[in-house]
Amino acid sequence: MAEVRIRNTEQRIQGEENVRAFLESQEVLYEHWNAAKLPAELQNKFVLTDEEKSTILATFDDEIRDLAQRRGYRTWDLISLSDATPNLDELLKKFENVHTHTEDEVRAITAGRGIFIIKGTEDVGYFDVELEAGDVISVPEHKAHFFTLMENRQIVAVRLFIETEGWIAHPYADAEFQSK
């Protein structure tokens, strides 16, 4: 289940309802899917064939379509990252810059872990959302953030979009960025 860490105070927020309430106060959508629906052999697999990717998307088809319908997302795909990904370190370096988009950034984690670093309201500052399989998050448009891997450096996630232009990252130079 997702956990939040507020960088200013080191405060951690745990438990689905607490996390949901905090994220809602920051205009971030948090939902949860049943990751155990995934065939056991895919629950810990990070190098995927096209067929396995299709199986994962088919497993969560109802959840994806329900979310897409409620939030206006029109397209989705599946990404997997691990140490088997070419140039993973370079990719991570590129990821780890605060930016914004002109549409929501949506990630539904189906295996592994990931972390969003998000600029919260003035009273909160930057906070981390640590995600694991089953966690679904939507960071609203124009909200400064970045997304990266955690120590295990393994993730499979569904990404949902409204349209392709929304994927573009706009750098967000922030003198107030809290790097830890």
Contact residues: Fe ion, CB under 5 A:
105
Going from the C-alpha of 172 to that of each of 37, 91, 116, 175, 179, the distances in angstroms are: 38, 18, 15, 10, 14
Q: How far is the CB of 160 from Fe ion (least distance, A)?
A: 13
Question: How far apart are CB 7 and Fe ion at their closest, in Å?
Answer: 18
* Nearer Cβ to Fe ion (125/166): 166
Q: Which is nearer to Fe ion, 17 or 90 (CB)?
A: 90
Nearer to Fe ion, 45 or 145 (CB): 145
Extract the tokens encoding 144.
Answer: 């400064």
Instruction: Return the beta strands (E) in the chain as ranges.
Output: 3-6, 12-13, 29-32, 75-81, 99-100, 105-119, 126-132, 135-139, 145-148, 155-161, 170-171
Minimum CB distance to Fe ion, residue 43 (Å) = 26
Contact 68, 160 (CB under 8 A): yes
Shortest gap between Cβ of 139 and Fe ion (angstroms)?
7
For Fe ion, give the closer residue by CB, 1 or 169: 169
